[in-house]
Amino acid sequence: MDILTEKGQQSLRHEDRMLVAIKKKYGVDIIETDKDSPALCDGFMVRNGVTTGVFESKCRNATVQDFKKWGSWLVTYEKIDGLAWMSNKLCIPALGFLYSIPDDVILMWHITDREGNYKFEFRVEKTITQATINGGKAERENAYLPIDKAQAL
Q: Please name the residues in contact with 62: beta carbons below 8 A apart, sequence gap of 6 or more.
A: 100, 101, 102
Cα distances from 116 to residues 36, 88, 106, 122, in angstroms, run 26, 4, 23, 15
Give the three-class secondary structure for 89: helix
User: Strand, helix or coil at 14?
Assistant: helix
Determine the Cα–Cα distance for residues 98 and 117; give it in Å rounded to an integer: 21
Q: What is the pTM of this model?
A: 0.87
* φ, ψ (nearest 5 deg) of residue 18: -65, -45
Residue 49 DSSP class: T
* 2-35 residue pLDDT tens: 555 666 667 778 888 999 999 999 999 999 998 8
DSSP type of residue 5: S
Residue 80, SS3?
Answer: helix
CA 9 to chain centroid: 17
Q: What percent of the chain has pLDDT over 90?
A: 75
d(CA 111, CA 120): 7
Is residue 116 within 8 A of residue 44, CB to CB? The reply is: no
Distance of CA 48 to the CA centre of its chain: 23
In this predicted model, what pLDDT tens digit does every residue of 34-76 receive, in sequence order?
887 888 999 999 999 999 999 999 999 999 999 999 999 999 9
